[in-house]
Structure 1
Amino acid sequence: MRENSPGDVPNPENDGLPEPVRAAGVGDEDSERGWTLSESGDDTGWTLSDSEPFDLKPQDAWAPSGETRMDEPPLTAETATVVAIPPVSASASVGAHFLEGDIGAPASASRGDGPPRPLTHRSGGLGAMYARNPKAWLIAASVAVFAVFGSGAVVLGVAVASPAEGSPAAVAALSEGSTPTPTVTTPPPRPVPAAELPASALRTCSVAGLLGDSRFGTLQAQVLNAATGELLFERDPATASQTASSMKVLTAAAALNVLGPDFRASTKVVAGAEPGTIVLVGQGDLTLSRLPTGQEPVYTGAAHLDDLATKAKAAYEAANPGTPITKIVLDSNYFSGKTWGDTWPPTERGTGWLSHITALQVDADRANPQVFLSPRGEDPIGRAGAAFASYFGNVPTEQGTAPAGAAELASVSSQPLSVLIPQALIPSDNSLAEMIGRHVAIKLGLGNSIDAIAAAIPQGLQAYGIDTSALRTADASGMSRNNAVPPSYFTQLFLKINAGEGHLAIIRDGLPVAGQSGTLNYSNRFFGANAVARGHIRAKSGSISSAYTLTGIIDAADGSTLIFAIYATGKVGSGARTAIDTLATGFYKCGANLSNT
């Protein structure tokens, strides 16, 4: 499939794509009414509601005649729930009570009919006091006990009268003139609680009302706070699923690590094995243009074939005066194996989304070098050879291999990788992504075929310190349905991309921006009520028949920065794009107050 249907047109201003295909269209009832994410009134949440008609002029033109803007009915969802959890207040009541009963009672209480018989005492002293006023003695004793146990006071010995006959001695007599020595005890250290982390603020802005949209198919998502790494929202983020063109972000990150931002692909001409023969050697620069120097192709700043031919002719004539060039050999062996992925739909060549991947070709084999979605052919090597031969009197060409150690006559190089990555990401250029992926595999020594990419991309990503064990890589562009990456891998990588770790700022600055550039500037993206998020979301979109994705960075309405990934997979259609955009807009409005409910 493709990022957008051929009828989808970029917005007229700053579209980021050269000469888009445009088609007149008609609207449907969806163009009359829309769905609006609005504040719920208490500043704590957002409400999905049926909105007033909105003006889609310049977007109305995207759908061809007879085609509706969305292939499914408008979104029907309950109002987004605002989860307001009241603070939990807990109070602990501390009570104190006295145990009733005889506390060391010295009285010998008779269980007979008469009153208790007090102990006999010497005249004076505590015994007499007790005898005279037992209630007062008990009160004083209670106070003393409370003081001993409540305040930790040291009890000094007191001489009391001898107990009655038959009663055990309870007090040890101190020798006259002796000084008691208190026993010093060190209490065990009191446990000190570990430092408490500050409680997370209660987040109250819910997008729950948007999650039931049937256009999602199977929804997976994750949102992180870019400043803190805090998880704000997730739905099954650890399951590896189809990525569609979001895979290009992984290819770009691996390439920046393995190749470096200054890497350039080249094309050269060397002397042939026979007199009058030269060899055009493709070394994996699909951006090389057959347009005359001074005319810009889709790939702005690309090398030009006429420049290479002029240099090669001058060098050949200087080395072989009087011997004309009579044959050109075309060497495309820098890449090997199949030129088309097993699961790539052949229709993508006709619609202009992908070319056969060969090491020698011009303008990524477009019929029109200046139109992004121009149809691709069936023989990219032959097209490049014919264009080059036109500078040498259209001499015959044949495919072959350059002689070992052949003298180089001339060469030209592509733009650096730092320029190629935005050229691949913004319009979602599949051929360019596949070219970059092959170079990663070659640099790592894993091979030069599409099959080598399966190991090359995960290996190239290991330097970022994110577990790659769940990744399944089938190609570099995301065209294959056999690619599988967890949404959580994208959010972890985008934390580093947003921070500009290593050379990853090149990806951050080379992403499409909602309503402003590339695939996020088509009229079927962020229209209607979702237009509020235009200019605030930079992300990579993905669209194949079984998966629609969007992952990147949100500059939220509250000033926070969010990292997000949204997948809609399974039984999905193009309407999944609008469902994804609506959810992303909800994230934008909630910002750091986004709830996981």
Structure 2
Amino acid sequence: MDLQTSPRGIRGVIARHRAVAAAAALVAVALVGGGAVALGAALNDPPSAAPEPLPTETTTPSPTPTPTPQAAAPSVPPPRVRTCSVADLAADPRLANLQAQVMNAGTGEILFDRGGLTASRTASVMKVLTSAAALAVFAPDHRFATTVVRGAEPGSVVLVGGGDLTLSRTPSGSETVYPGAAHLDELARQVRAAWEADPSNPPLTKLVLDSSLFGGEPWHASWDPAERELGYMPDITALMVDGDRQDPYANTSARGTDPVGRAGEAFAAEVGGIGAIERGVAPSGAAELGRVWSPTVAQLVEKSLIVSDNTAAEMLARLVAIEVGTGGTFEAIDPAMRQVLATYGIARGGIRVVDGSGLSPDNAVPPAYLTRLFAKIESREGNLGVIRDGLPVSGQKGSLSYADRFAGDNAIADGAVFAKTGWITTGYTLSGIIHAQDGTTLTFAIYALGNVTDAAKQAIDTLATGFYRCGDELANT
């Protein structure tokens, strides 16, 4: 597609699904060792609703007619008894308060469930939902623009942030942590050429910085401020360079406290001759002098998943909210995400979305939602194949290839677990897809919540490896 054309498909998609989303409910019933696990929830939960468990659906039996003397008693096959237990692995104290669910992706049967209907904090697994929402709103090859327009005063230009937090101050031709990122030197080159093409223009002396696309607070109150200094999260503003990293080439790098100012100083240095920099808003209808484009949505999704990049995830969450029309603040993310995720036809079950990255402990998603979403991801429904291709892989790719993941005996599952990792101070999480030893495709979510240590990662991997070994014989006891 033309990268300079911004697709606008979400309102039509939402309209087509609104009637279904208002009335539909997801019911997944699996016979597990003679028992049954049931799931049902309305799709039109209010945007402001607090997280709550998905209710268990019950049905009222129809009256049974009196059989005629000739009627034979129906033959009822005995329930299947699965024999592969992971009960000891699930009882590992390193998992603290365990919530988990495993589903056979082919049949929809729930094979294992521990609090799967309760919405709880997800840590960075939230990035899967953010990615799914972005791919429902934007085409995978969609890009976001940063522009420069003529200012209201003679000799002034306005640098307009379009929400591209990957824009780089490094030289064109170099690659930062964001493959495909645009560069300020190219934008400055376009501006100088456009300015000099009109001999009546006075010298360029003033730069105005417009970051008004995003509003509200740039740092969520529930985020730990140490995340900025540790190099995991910047203030979220619509204009910044390199995710506000001190080192544009390092995934983990300390962030500053004035990302807009850093971007402005870098651009002024590229343009040259700028004597004044101030904050403001671009004049309505101002002539455009330059434009550069972000990486594609597919590239941003992969970056947010493979190394759990918080900046890319927050960028996508805000731009989804703006596209849907709920606004450009943290408060706008939750109603936008609820609206967009409803188009996938999965019961949301008390989902609450505070941010796009999962850093907030106030996010809440039931494991049951994730097992169903990952079934759609595995089948590459819509644009969800982008997520499937961007997931870390046990022992091979991304955050599941680190030395402390799927090591030792768990290495038997190398290459078989495709999943998103998550960590905050009160929980470790892992959710995704398992190609089990017996050939069954499983979808799963594991939350280890509460008083957890780094050792929870190994306990999670061990439980996931247990799922891999059991496959379709996984027992719920």
Instruction: Please tell me the TM-score bracket, short chain as reference.
Output: 0.7 to 0.9
- Residues 195 and 201, structure 2, Cα contact 8 Å, conserved in 1: no
1:202: how far off? 3.0
5 Å-filtered alignment, 1:440-459, equals: 440-459=320-339
| Equivalent residue, structure 1, for 2:363 | 483
Q: 2:243 pairs with 356, 364, 371, which one?
A: 364
| Equivalent residue, structure 2, for 1:203 | 82
Q: Structure 1: which amino acid aligns with 2:387?
A: I
List per-residue Cα deviations over 1:161-190 (Å, max 9, x = no partner). xxxxxxxxxxxxxxxxxxxxxxxxxxx794
- Matching of residue 495 in structure 1 with residue 375 in structure 2: yes
Structure 2 alignment gaps of length 5 or more? 1-31, 35-67
Local SS of the residue matching 2:261: helix
| Equivalent residue, structure 2, for 1:254 | 133
Local SS of the residue matching 1:319: coil
1:263: how far off? 2.5
Rounded to whole Å, the distance in 2 between the matches of 1:278 and 1:390 is 14
Paired residue total: 413
1:319: how far off? 3.0
- Matching of residue 463 in structure 1 with residue 343 in structure 2: yes
| Equivalent residue, structure 2, for 1:533 | 413
- Residues 317 and 323, structure 1, Cα contact 8 Å, conserved in 2: no
| Equivalent residue, structure 1, for 2:206 | 327
Q: 1:291 pairs with 170, 173, 176, which one?
A: 170
Q: Structure 2: which amino acid aligns with 1:319?
A: D
Report which structure shows greater RCO (CA 8 Å, sep ≥6).
Answer: 2
Q: Structure 2: which amino acid aligns with 1:456?
A: A
Rounded to whole Å, the distance in 1 between the matches of 2:211 and 2:73 is 69
Q: Structure 2: which amino acid aligns with 1:496?
A: K
| Equivalent residue, structure 1, for 2:461 | 581
Local SS of the residue matching 2:445: strand
Q: 1:206 to 1:539 in 2, by over 3 A?
A: same
Q: 2:194 pairs with 315, 321, 326, which one?
A: 315
- Residues 270 and 407, structure 1, Cα contact 8 Å, conserved in 2: yes
Structure 1 alignment gaps of length 5 or more? 1-82, 86-187
1:192: how far off? 6.5
Local SS of the residue matching 1:579: helix
Local SS of the residue matching 1:509: helix
After the TM superposition, list the runs of 4 or more consecutive aligned residues in structure 1 that deviate by more than 6 angstroms: none
Q: What is the TM-score when the length of structure 1 is the normalising length?
A: 0.67
Rounded to whole Å, the distance in 2 between the matches of 1:521 and 1:377 is 30
| Equivalent residue, structure 2, for 1:128 | none
Rounded to whole Å, the distance in 2 between the matches of 1:404 and 1:291 is 30
- Residues 278 and 328, structure 1, Cα contact 8 Å, conserved in 2: yes
Q: 1:432 to 1:198 in 2, by over 3 A?
A: farther
What's the Cα RMSD here?
2.0
- Matching of residue 244 in structure 1 with residue 123 in structure 2: yes
Q: Structure 1: which amino acid aligns with 2:360?
A: S
- Residues 119 and 349, structure 2, Cα contact 8 Å, conserved in 1: no
- Residues 167 and 294, structure 2, Cα contact 8 Å, conserved in 1: yes
| Equivalent residue, structure 1, for 2:306 | 426
List per-residue Cα deviations over 1:241-287 (Å, max 9, x = no partner). 11101011111111111223232211000001111111110010001
Q: Structure 1: which amino acid aligns with 2:313?
A: A
Q: 1:84 to 1:229 in 2, by over 3 A?
A: closer
5 Å-filtered alignment, 1:95-134, equals: none
| Equivalent residue, structure 1, for 2:354 | 474
Rounded to whole Å, the distance in 2 between the matches of 1:583 and 1:272 is 59
Q: What is the TM-score when the length of structure 2 is the normalising length?
A: 0.83
List per-residue Cα deviations over 1:293-351 (Å, max 9, x = no partner). 11100001111111111111111211354521111111100101100011111111111
Local SS of the residue matching 2:106: coil
List per-residue Cα deviations over 1:188-243 (Å, max 9, x = no partner). 7943777x787664321111111221111100111111111111111110111111
- Residues 514 and 536, structure 1, Cα contact 8 Å, conserved in 2: yes
- Residues 168 and 184, structure 2, Cα contact 8 Å, conserved in 1: yes
- Residues 331 and 400, structure 1, Cα contact 8 Å, conserved in 2: yes
More moved, 279-288 vs 391-400: 391-400
| Equivalent residue, structure 2, for 1:280 | 159
Q: 1:500 to 1:391 in 2, by over 3 A?
A: same
Local SS of the residue matching 1:283: coil
Q: Structure 2: which amino acid aligns with 1:528?
A: G
- Matching of residue 303 in structure 1 with residue 185 in structure 2: no
Q: Structure 2: which amino acid aligns with 1:205?
A: C
Q: 1:362 to 1:197 in 2, by over 3 A?
A: farther
